[in-house]
Structure 1
Amino acid sequence: MNIFYMRSLIFCAATFVSLPSLLWADDATRPNLIFIFADDWGYGDLSAMGNLSDVKTPHLDALSQQGVMFTDAYITAPQCSPSRAGLMTGRYQQRFGFDTIPDGPLPLDQLTVAERLREVGYATGMVGKWHLEPNAVCLKWAKQHQPDGIQGNRVLVRRDLSMPYWPQSRGFDEFFQGELNPYWANFDLRGKTLNPTGETVHDGRFRVDVQTDAGLAFIRRNADKSFFLYLAHYAPHVPLEASEKYLQRFLGDMPERRRTGLAMINAVDEGVGRIMKLLQDKGIADNTFVMFASDNGAPLGAHTGELMADILPVGKPGPAWDGSRNDPLRGEKGMVAEGGIRVPMIWSWPAKLPKGKIISEPVISLDMTVSALAAAGVNADSTSSLDGVDLVPWLSGIESQKPQRDLYWRFWNQGAVRDGDWKYILTGDGRELLFNIRDDKEEQHNLINSRRGRAKILRDKLKSWTSELKPPGLPSAPLNVQEVGWYKYYFDEKVTATMSDVKSD
């Protein structure tokens, strides 16, 4: 069946099941929705958490004080594209074969949150990093759709074949797409409408400020209606850069990569403050549901078997330290250890959510998607196949709505499951790690030998979950070169089980 015909049928079905919401929803009470999604921002770099003293995030701290801060929030993959695919769909991306970047693009038969929200009358906007279109490493896609574009192990993707996967074709009415200058947009920073299908916009200023300005322009253009904004800052991802305005806020003796990373984080934070001020000025702050998170943990560069962060110049490209930190967690981007998948997360909706609440139960980015759809009045039947949970009733005080579920990961040659306080990691070479995350979030004490019964329960759960994926199955291939370096550095010599850890199941 032609894929575009399939999508037409899906849209018709989505419209049909959403029709009651469209008819009954009260535009005056439906919240505006904003996802602010950072790139490679580590768990340690949120000053409200109290992990590091050099980070400055006053506006995000204020957002946490007027809303909910999650201490145990996770992403669906320790890498950008698959984690973004999970966020955009509300499904574990492994269900549709998007485990890693080369598995892209986001399949056209997967409905995005923007498509679902547009069907119930929301204005939808996307700003910043997309990275869900076919790219140079998407060989599987190219073999089917553009075999003549394959040159060795790279793909020269034709724009006309790529465009159906871009934001304007995935539910976003307005877009200012781009990681760095130039950008592809159908509106400019003054709010002027450009070519509806998009045109190139040049702006060579510091990219975080440009992306914030574009988010503000979208809000101004749509402040009188229900809107959804996906603002995906390209920071603090490499290449590292920051304007002097932000660098001057981090004086003193520190690695220059750390200084620049902190400046980029501070720039995103200032952007959050500017967005919140605009919402206040427009009189719509109370009924705007803002959710902030990172796409994965920070890369630290231990794939070589040691950390050399202090001596790397700012201009050194990745895979290398981006200046952010995951303290106190072990591991980094690319790993299913806590440092790779546990991220800062804050939600604020003054009209609905409590103020200053701290949640230590595990949640995941998929919950952002489903909670936003539920808040918008999207018919629950149409989202029943999604993997996230609407957390708003529970966060609002209905204890019976507290989620009861496990969280799962499969990435490269690693798999993991978190079940309550327990987390189990399995690698393709047979390595097993078991941690009580409530007592040991730093993953310092591997309890695999003392709690074999618990490990078996979790392995069986992981095996059952991976049987539902595409392709099915537990990780079984040997670790790749990067994974070997990571696990040697973080776990082979540093993780030990002590006699005090030995307990019976």
Structure 2
Amino acid sequence: MRIISVVISVLFLVACGGSSEQSVPSRPEPPKPDLPDSGYPDKPNVVIIFTDDQGYADLGIQGSRQDLKTPNIDKLASLGTRFSHGYVTSPQCTPSRAGLVSGQYQQRFGVDENRFTPMPLDIDTIGSRFQRLGYKTGMIGKWHLEVMGNSSEWLEKNHPDFYASNQSIEKLPLQYKRPFFPDERGFDDVFWGYERRYWTNFELNGSDKSAGYQIKEQYRLDLTAQAAGAFIERNAENPFLLYFAPYGPHVPLEATEFYLSRIPENMPTRRRYALAMMAAIDDGVGMIVDKLEKHGLMDNTIIFFISDNGAPLGDDMTDAPLDKRGEAWNGSRNDPLIGEKGMLTDGGIRVPYLVKWQGHFPAGKVIDKPVSSLDAVYTALELAGEKSLSDLDGVSLLPALEGNADYLDERALYWRFWMQRAVRKGKWKYLQAGIRREFLFDMESQEGETLNVIDLHPAVADELRQQLLQWSNEMQRPDPIVEIPAPFGARYDHYLPPPQG
């Protein structure tokens, strides 16, 4: 009977439409706690490091795995604060990045999945916001919010003739793609790309260049780390925002012998390459810290380190050939969490999450309350002097960092992705995959997502379900209330107890 009532309530709200223009009550505003008067310096520099498909387990400081070494990032955590229940807004690259770059739930403007690129031009970005506050802004690494090969919906709407011709997106004239590049979205200095081809407007030696593509044969993680260092050198005398998004350990798995030599050979090849890539990322973080120390900026620089989503495991972490992409394991791990990239279990959305501000934020502290990547954006802008924060979906982390984190239990975090929907509020997490698979978890219990307690707490599940549906109804796209297809259903049943009845 519970399943029937869920479907009826969901279908009722969907019938009302998927837009905030419908006559449904607005969701309660998340709590905005009074900020401590701590005398923080004006206009601190902000560095946001956003890795790619790095699972929850894969920092040494997490204590889950013994086969990796990330000394530089671990030092950030030991001298800063680690959020053990840190979340991103999606279990997939593009929507997670759209959430971070906008500071909003990306479903508000329709970037629910990778295939809904590009990010609309009317959405304000952290680059533009910091620019208006007098900051120099930089974007290095993976952007993934531009017009891409899977932007078919956008192409059909905006360039129907090109869409009908079924040509490669590479043939679309640059003038139509250019407005979506980060240097047109609020970032002064850019060095972004993926494997060999990069759009840049400065050189690695720090000199200016005309904006355009460059082919770079250097190892991608070393290259973008050097670009991040060059950005700091270029802007050390100005307040700056650096959004550094290394393309790893996302596939394709590749590493130089310099990093592979650090990793023992007696392990799956994909794991070894992922560990080598994480060693490269760690070296890059160390280099960024060295640059900040060189210029005496550590006391005036906030550093966030977050992954964009959990690791893809391919169900069983098969050690497939390195050239296999698709659903293959990328060599990263999510232990001890349940599930993987693409799922709204914690393995897909709970990630490494650290913040350090030398001399201002506590050192060696672990906060076990649920926080979002959206909170990092809110907090950074708040400290930079932004007064107009009401359109953001995050909350300030300052009270939690000052010692009182209880307010973080009072607001809900929401997710919606590919026929799944979830909400976490305090210790409770409600998750519905498709229609039949419905779960309630006590995330503070030892069992976590291994024990479905929905039959023990139906009133809690009902309340969270209604809040989730109300939030979902405010988003731009309606939620397709359909059963998840068999292959994905099998993945859920692999990780979670299958539904009864």
Shared fold (TM-score, shorter chain, > 0.5): yes
Q: Residue 277 of structure 1: CA displacement? A: 1.2
Counterpart for residue 387 of structure 1: 393
**Structure-2 separation of matches of 1:330 and 1:154:** 40
Counterpart for residue 72 of structure 2: 59
**Structure-2 change in CA distance of 1:301 and 1:310 (3 Å):** closer
User: What secondary structure is seen at the aligned counterpart in 1 of 2:77?
Assistant: helix
Say whether the 8 Å CA contact 2:50–2:307 is kept in structure 1: yes
**Structure-1 separation of matches of 2:166 and 2:460:** 42
User: What secondary structure is seen at the aligned counterpart in 2 of 1:194?
Assistant: strand
Say whether the 8 Å CA contact 1:136–1:154 is kept in structure 2: no
Residue 368 of structure 1 aligns with an amino acid whose one-letter code is A
Counterpart for residue 105 of structure 1: 118
Confirm or deny that 1:159 pairs with 2:159. Answer: no
**Structure-2 separation of matches of 1:69 and 1:486:** 30
Cα deviations by residue, 1:95-136 (Å, 9 ceiling, x for unpaired) = 111110111211111100110000010000000100101211
**Structure-2 separation of matches of 1:89 and 1:263:** 31
Confirm or deny that 1:279 pairs with 2:292. Answer: yes
Confirm or deny that 1:35 pairs with 2:48. Answer: yes
Residue of structure 2 aligned with 1:412, choices 418, 432, 435 = 418
**Structure-2 change in CA distance of 1:153 and 1:485 (3 Å):** farther
**Structure-2 separation of matches of 1:78 and 1:461:** 21
Confirm or deny that 1:236 pairs with 2:249. Answer: yes
User: What secondary structure is seen at the aligned counterpart in 2 of 1:355?
Assistant: coil
User: What secondary structure is seen at the aligned counterpart in 1 of 2:84?
Assistant: strand
- Indicate the larger mover: 395-404 or 200-209: 395-404
**Structure-2 separation of matches of 1:185 and 1:103:** 25
**Structure-1 separation of matches of 2:446 and 2:167:** 42
User: What secondary structure is seen at the aligned counterpart in 2 of 1:150?
Assistant: helix
Counterpart for residue 189 of structure 1: 204
Confirm or deny that 1:93 pairs with 2:99. Answer: no
Counterpart for residue 357 of structure 1: 365
Q: TM-score, normalised by structure 1?
A: 0.88
Counterpart for residue 490 of structure 1: 495
| Superposed structure 1 runs of 4+ greater than 4 Å apart | 151-155, 398-403
**Structure-2 separation of matches of 1:187 and 1:57:** 29
**Structure-2 separation of matches of 1:154 and 1:138:** 12
Residue of structure 1 aligned with 2:183, choices 164, 168, 176 = 168
Counterpart for residue 79 of structure 1: 92
**Structure-2 change in CA distance of 1:58 and 1:137 (3 Å):** same
- Indicate the larger mover: 100-109 or 32-41: 100-109
Cα deviations by residue, 1:392-430 (Å, 9 ceiling, x for unpaired) = 233123568656301110001000000111111112233
Say whether the 8 Å CA contact 1:338–1:442 is kept in structure 2: no
**Structure-2 separation of matches of 1:152 and 1:72:** 47
Counterpart for residue 21 of structure 1: none
**Structure-1 separation of matches of 2:385 and 2:309:** 29
Cα deviations by residue, 1:229-260 (Å, 9 ceiling, x for unpaired) = 00000000000000111111111411000000
**Structure-1 separation of matches of 2:409 and 2:465:** 21
Q: Residue 487 of structure 1: CA displacement? A: 1.1
Confirm or deny that 1:220 pairs with 2:228. Answer: no
Residue 466 of structure 1 aligns with an amino acid whose one-letter code is S
**Structure-2 change in CA distance of 1:33 and 1:297 (3 Å):** same
- Indicate the larger mover: 47-56 or 438-447: 438-447
**Structure-2 change in CA distance of 1:153 and 1:93 (3 Å):** farther
Equivalence map 1:175-324=2 (5 Å): 175-195=190-210, 198-302=211-315, 307=316, 309-324=317-332
Say whether the 8 Å CA contact 1:129–1:179 is kept in structure 2: yes
Residue 423 of structure 2 aligns with an amino acid whose one-letter code is V
Structure 2 gaps of 5+ residues are 1-38
**Structure-1 separation of matches of 2:186 and 2:73:** 28
**Structure-2 separation of matches of 1:487 and 1:399:** 32
**Structure-2 separation of matches of 1:446 and 1:280:** 48
Say whether the 8 Å CA contact 1:389–1:403 is kept in structure 2: no
Counterpart for residue 335 of structure 1: 343
Confirm or deny that 1:48 pairs with 2:61. Answer: yes
Counterpart for residue 347 of structure 1: 355
User: What secondary structure is seen at the aligned counterpart in 2 of 1:40?
Assistant: coil
**Structure-2 separation of matches of 1:89 and 1:224:** 26
Confirm or deny that 1:460 pairs with 2:475. Answer: no
Say whether the 8 Å CA contact 2:204–2:226 is kept in structure 1: yes
Structure 1 gaps of 5+ residues are 1-25, 497-505
Confirm or deny that 1:135 pairs with 2:148. Answer: yes
How many aligned residue pairs are there? 460
Residue 375 of structure 1 aligns with an amino acid whose one-letter code is L
Say whether the 8 Å CA contact 1:335–1:483 is kept in structure 2: no
User: What secondary structure is seen at the aligned counterpart in 1 of 2:351?
Assistant: strand
**Structure-1 separation of matches of 2:322 and 2:392:** 41
Say whether the 8 Å CA contact 2:80–2:358 is kept in structure 1: yes
Q: TM-score, normalised by structure 2?
A: 0.88
**Structure-1 separation of matches of 2:119 and 2:158:** 14
Q: Percent identity?
A: 45
**Structure-2 separation of matches of 1:212 and 1:487:** 37
**Structure-2 change in CA distance of 1:107 and 1:481 (3 Å):** farther
Q: Residue 172 of structure 1: CA displacement? A: 0.3
User: What secondary structure is seen at the aligned counterpart in 2 of 1:82?
Assistant: helix
**Structure-2 separation of matches of 1:39 and 1:118:** 25
User: What secondary structure is seen at the aligned counterpart in 1 of 2:216?
Assistant: coil
Residue 82 of structure 2 aligns with an amino acid whose one-letter code is M
Residue 374 of structure 2 aligns with an amino acid whose one-letter code is L
**Structure-2 change in CA distance of 1:324 and 1:400 (3 Å):** closer
Q: Residue 488 of structure 1: CA displacement? A: 2.7
Q: Residue 472 of structure 1: CA displacement? A: 3.8
Q: Residue 32 of structure 1: CA displacement? A: 0.4
**Structure-2 separation of matches of 1:266 and 1:476:** 42
User: What secondary structure is seen at the aligned counterpart in 1 of 2:150?
Assistant: coil
User: What secondary structure is seen at the aligned counterpart in 2 of 1:343?
Assistant: coil
User: What secondary structure is seen at the aligned counterpart in 2 of 1:383?
Assistant: coil
**Structure-2 separation of matches of 1:287 and 1:182:** 33
Counterpart for residue 11 of structure 1: none
Say whether the 8 Å CA contact 1:142–1:155 is kept in structure 2: no
**Structure-1 separation of matches of 2:288 and 2:439:** 42
Say whether the 8 Å CA contact 2:410–2:425 is kept in structure 1: no
**Structure-2 change in CA distance of 1:27 and 1:121 (3 Å):** farther
**Structure-2 change in CA distance of 1:153 and 1:97 (3 Å):** farther
User: What secondary structure is seen at the aligned counterpart in 1 of 2:85?
Assistant: strand
